[in-house]
Structure 1
Amino acid sequence: MCKYLVVFLLIGAASLDCSAQQQKDKVENSIERPNILFVITDDQSFPHASAYGYSAVRTPNFDRVAKKGILFTKAYVASPGCSPSRAAILTGRHNWQTEEAGTHGSSFPSKFKVYPDILEEAGYKIGYTGKGWGPGNWGESGRKANPAGPAYNSVKFVDSPEGVSKINYAENFRQFYAEKKDGQPFCFWFGAHEPHRPFAKGIGQKNGKKLEDVVVPDFLPDTREVRNDILDYCFEIEWFDQQLGKMLAQLEENGELDNTLVIVTSDNGMPFPRAKANTYDYGLHVPLVVSWPASIRQGWVNTDVFTMINIAPTILEAAQVNNLQLSFPMWGRSVLKEWLNPVSGSVSHSAFAARERHSSSRFGNLGYPQRAIRRGDYLYIRNFKPDLWPAGDPYALISRGQSDKLELSDYGAFYDIDAAPSLTFLVENRENKKLLYFLDLATAKRPWEELYNVETDPSCIYNLAGDTSFSKIKAELKNSLEHQLIITADPRLLGDGDVFETYPRLEGVIRAFPRHE
């Protein structure tokens, strides 16, 4: 393991020197440092925005940013879970490189520097509203504020729709903006709580949304219950989009929009069975738009695979933060040059992803370790513990009444799937063989490796890993994944993977399960 760590440090140092020189070469001094508005929803899959042609949802403000800049069609997060995905965005590092921050509900080691802190040191005013990094305990490791910045959450709605956050995001942004000095650039993180569950059941239809507009992914049954659940999810996306529009209007009123780098995305996929908390396409593939009207060409569609660990170094280069010295350098690379001079399809990009613990879903609070690579048309997945249940053990020990007597339950035990009408419908109807098929897709044990053509099979139903006609593709992706894990010192590949199980869960319940067999 030591020799690999030496290789990792040498490569990291080399990339740091190269990055500093590239920043110096690429950014012209005549370009004004932009403001940064980073916008992230909570649990939204691609293609659920109207800019992508999804008719069940209307997102005029997301679409506006796309028209003013770049619409990405293959953006991939580093993890299918909230806090590890956000940590990767903030640090520019793979999840297995961020220790506790690479799992769910733990801490965020202060030795991993985040781009908002770096920008604050460079003179930017920083802050966030809604959900920053989380869930987890950022103070456990000595941090003085959420890694996204100081919180601006005091302004609340007096009246807002059922199910959505009471935080008035736009008015909190107004308060933040009023506090900055004249001429001072800002870096603001708008973390919507939407469309995270729970939803107000039936709110989609109550607001005029139509069941026939829903496109049901192949991993879910096409039933009225599921379509209604998706409509409620779409309503929450639309609520978020309205708040985004109010922030854009404020920037326009203040004459700041042209020189603001606006990035709008999500932290992971939709909160449905086999999507969120899974390294399948619907867990990792997210919406992404970027605009900077003063510098980025408008109306461009980027069809290359894009990894979100590139966000932090790109923001820093745009802000002209040069000669950056980090003890733990960012592994992502700045793509500012590509954004300023867009040429799609010129490079074969890869995106890597990881999953460790999500919720408390197994005996001993064990996670479900996965690694994945997305390149070209294909997604390759390595399941490191195929003997474990991917959505959580089928049976949980639950407390009954005041007696604290523990009893075995097989309902609601799949805690790596958010509680949802769709999940309830599948569990309650599992005696129906057609519906059991969909429940098994989400919960049954999985093989050591999986391979999917996500261009023809975005729902990741047909595993090609055992098909000899795809042996060459599988071998290439497997080798590329293993190479990346080695040079970045991933403990899972280097024989110390159980270190991830030692990271404490500091937020959320610890559930009781029968001993794993």
Structure 2
Amino acid sequence: MQILKKILLGLSLVFAFSCSETKKEGEPKERPNIVWIMLEDWSPDLGCYGTKGIETPVTDKLASEGIKYTNAFCTAPVCSASRSAMMTGFHQDYIGSEEHRLKQEEKEPLPYGIKPMPLLLKEAGYYTALMASNKTDCNFEADIGFMGNDWKNRKKNQPFFAQITLQGTHRKWERDSINPIDPRNIELPPYYVDTPFARRDWANGLEQMQICDREIGVLLDRLDKEKLTDNTLVFLIGDNGRCHIRGKQFLYDPGLQVPLIIKWPGKIKPNQINENLVQTIDITATILEVAGVTPPQELHGKNLFKEEANNREYIFAARSRMGSTHDAMRTIRSKKYKLIHNLMPERAWLQYSGYKEDMYPMLAEMNILNMEGKLNDIQAKFFAPTKPEFELFDIINDPYEINNLANDKKYAPIKEKMLASLNEWRIEIKDKGVTPEFKAGGASSKYPTRTLEEWQKRYELWKSWVFRSPTEKMNHPFVKKHY
């Protein structure tokens, strides 16, 4: 038996892990349980990714027990479009789910015979549970396939799939009374102002992630106590990038890059770091293949445990309507370069968005400083009344995506090649582009969206919230509901 175990542990498909054990003909194949932990609005701002100031021992340990992906990206920089893609394994534009957030009466059935991934798992005999939050947030009308809210309700020995959404990292954010973060220990990107207010807001987000880290610990402890760990494949990801200025809703890396950690005892060797370009829809393809399910249509996502997902030259992503805010952007990214095509360059990056103005404290402070002429060139760039049609960045030498090379003749061949590939992809996913109706619709694109005096009033209201103590209970200054 010990020899057999060693042989099984040594088998791998690629990158030192295997999807399935070898079985004798006719012998039933044991299918793993699958737990998908989803953080809302969170980039790789974790201790194991090198983020300063934060302590996340649970996720750090999880990463040490499996694979940490350092180039994982969602397909849309907002939850409903990104989740629609992940629930199906197809880019959101291809299935008509690109606009955030569709009203119920606007949703249409999935095209081309596509079925949501949990429904396919249910039909294959899995118990499917939606836990911690009932949020699916899909921009289509369909039976998603979830059967209950806890895997404890499954039949005896029935494999289960559980998607667990932790909503804490979605703004508003709670302070961490157990382990408060000193804002002097954090590091801000250079396109933000470095003020006590900005540092405290950033630290508050990291504190919320520390709370979620402990929640993840409770969940993993439960798997241990129920003796499920050894036969459970665990994914930890974010649904889209961080909810800060220049993050969520935009196609820069902070809006698209997410943590991706996978643990599968006996199948995935520990302490692995994967630098390949992967996307969140790859998780969908991986889960279905591991569960032995063949979808009715070939997915856009690819199995992470196979070479097809580890040899990409590019990843792609798109942004369309966000609530009442109309804008459209497309991007293609390699390991070295990113090209963004702004389809509506006449509009400001920061045209009106009720969500951002009600949830981003730094937006008030930086608008004030911009109007007073106190931002430096890097910080002021994002507050311009229009944007360039194309943005090209050398990610290796310019990781903060500050220096636009799109008009530099030296990089013209790179731009041309990437744009051709981006346009080919847009055709493949049936991208509608920008219609005259879309261009004329939505909230006002007038910019700036408020006067200096109006921003100053909002800033004063933000102060007590941002600087509240770790134990202080306080109402949010603008929003009573959770977006």
The normalised TM-score by structure 1 is: 0.74
Structure 2 CA distance, aligned partners of 1:308 and 1:118?
A: 18
1:49 aligns with 2:46: yes
Q: For 1:273, what is the secondary structure of its paired residue?
A: coil
Structure 1 CA distance, aligned partners of 2:234 and 2:444?
A: 44
The answer as to whether partners of 1:87 and 1:133 remain within 8 angstroms in 2 is no
Match of 2:318 in 1: 354
The answer as to whether partners of 1:310 and 1:334 remain within 8 angstroms in 2 is yes
Q: Which runs of no fewer than 5 residues in structure 2 stay unpaired? A: 1-17, 24-28, 448-483
Q: Output the amino acid matched with 2:240.
A: N
Structure 1 CA distance, aligned partners of 2:68 and 2:427?
A: 33
CA shift at 1:204, angstroms? 5.4
Q: Cα gap change, 1:501/1:66 in structure 2, threshold over 3 Å: closer, same or farther?
A: same
The answer as to whether partners of 2:99 and 2:139 remain within 8 angstroms in 1 is no
Structure 1 CA distance, aligned partners of 2:411 and 2:210?
A: 40
CA shift at 1:39, angstroms? 1.0
Q: For 2:420, what is the secondary structure of its paired residue?
A: helix
CA shift at 1:513, angstroms? 7.0
Structure 1 CA distance, aligned partners of 2:137 and 2:384?
A: 24
Q: Output the amino acid matched with 1:379.
A: K
Structure 2 CA distance, aligned partners of 1:131 and 1:417?
A: 25
1:289 aligns with 2:288: no
1:464 aligns with 2:381: no
The answer as to whether partners of 2:81 and 2:138 remain within 8 angstroms in 1 is no
Q: Output the amino acid matched with 1:94.
A: H
Structure 2 CA distance, aligned partners of 1:417 and 1:72?
A: 32
Q: Cα gap change, 1:59/1:183 in structure 2, threshold over 3 Å: closer, same or farther?
A: same
Match of 1:34 in 2: 32
CA shift at 1:136, angstroms? 6.1
- 1:295-374 to structure 2, matched below 5 A, reads 295-322=267-294, 324-326=295-297, 329-338=298-307, 347-361=311-325, 367-374=326-333
1:195 aligns with 2:169: yes
2:85 corresponds, among 85, 88, 93, to: 88
Q: Cα gap change, 1:26/1:184 in structure 2, threshold over 3 Å: closer, same or farther?
A: closer
Alpha-carbon displacement from aligned partner over 1:287-306 (angstroms, at most 9, x marks no partner): 11011112112211001111
CA shift at 1:130, angstroms? 3.8
Q: Output the amino acid matched with 1:470.
A: Y
Q: Which runs of no fewer than 5 residues in structure 1 stay unpaired? A: 1-24, 153-175, 362-366, 394-412, 505-509
CA shift at 1:221, angstroms? 1.1
The answer as to whether partners of 2:81 and 2:139 remain within 8 angstroms in 1 is no
Between Structure 1 and Structure 2, how many residues are aligned? Answer: 419
The answer as to whether partners of 1:372 and 1:379 remain within 8 angstroms in 2 is yes
Q: Output the amino acid matched with 1:228.
A: R
The answer as to whether partners of 2:65 and 2:263 remain within 8 angstroms in 1 is yes
Match of 2:207 in 1: 235
1:480 aligns with 2:421: yes
Q: For 2:208, what is the secondary structure of its paired residue?
A: helix
CA shift at 1:137, angstroms? 6.9
Q: Output the amino acid matched with 2:95.
A: T
Alpha-carbon displacement from aligned partner over 1:288-342 (angstroms, at most 9, x marks no partner): 10111121122110011111121111110011113x324xx42112222359xxx
Match of 1:275 in 2: 247
Match of 1:404 in 2: none
Q: Cα gap change, 1:184/1:135 in structure 2, threshold over 3 Å: closer, same or farther?
A: closer
Structure 2 CA distance, aligned partners of 1:197 and 1:148?
A: 28
Alpha-carbon displacement from aligned partner over 1:194-238 (angstroms, at most 9, x marks no partner): 2111234xx358843111221101221111111100111001111
Match of 2:394 in 1: 453
Alpha-carbon displacement from aligned partner over 1:340-395 (angstroms, at most 9, x marks no partner): xxxx9x7344211000011323xxxxx211111111211111111111233324xx
2:435 corresponds, among 498, 502, 511, to: 498
Structure 2 CA distance, aligned partners of 1:447 and 1:512?
A: 20
Structure 2 CA distance, aligned partners of 1:418 and 1:37?
A: 33
1:66 corresponds, among 63, 66, 81, to: 63
| Stretch of structure 1 that moved more, 122-131 or 279-288 | 122-131
Q: For 1:199, what is the secondary structure of its paired residue?
A: coil
CA shift at 1:29, angstroms? 5.8
Q: Cα gap change, 1:204/1:379 in structure 2, threshold over 3 Å: closer, same or farther?
A: farther
Match of 2:126 in 1: 124
The answer as to whether partners of 1:41 and 1:193 remain within 8 angstroms in 2 is yes
CA shift at 1:180, angstroms? 1.1
Match of 2:454 in 1: none
Match of 2:187 in 1: 215
Q: Output the amino acid matched with 1:307.
A: Q
Structure 1 CA distance, aligned partners of 2:428 and 2:187?
A: 40
Match of 1:226 in 2: 198
Structure 2 CA distance, aligned partners of 1:197 and 1:293?
A: 34
Q: Output the amino acid matched with 2:303.
A: S
Q: For 2:71, what is the secondary structure of its paired residue?
A: strand
CA shift at 1:499, angstroms? 9.6
Q: Cα gap change, 1:282/1:223 in structure 2, threshold over 3 Å: closer, same or farther?
A: same
Q: Cα gap change, 1:101/1:278 in structure 2, threshold over 3 Å: closer, same or farther?
A: closer
Structure 2 CA distance, aligned partners of 1:102 and 1:330?
A: 21
Match of 2:452 in 1: none
CA shift at 1:264, angstroms? 0.5
Structure 2 CA distance, aligned partners of 1:306 and 1:150?
A: 29
The normalised TM-score by structure 2 is: 0.79
Among the aligned pairs, what percent are the same residue? 28
The answer as to whether partners of 1:43 and 1:194 remain within 8 angstroms in 2 is no
CA shift at 1:98, angstroms? 2.0
Tell me the C-alpha RMSD between the 2 structures: 2.9
1:422 aligns with 2:370: no
CA shift at 1:279, angstroms? 0.2
Q: Cα gap change, 1:130/1:457 in structure 2, threshold over 3 Å: closer, same or farther?
A: farther
CA shift at 1:489, angstroms? 2.4
Q: Cα gap change, 1:226/1:93 in structure 2, threshold over 3 Å: closer, same or farther?
A: same
CA shift at 1:453, angstroms? 1.5
Q: Cα gap change, 1:50/1:418 in structure 2, threshold over 3 Å: closer, same or farther?
A: farther
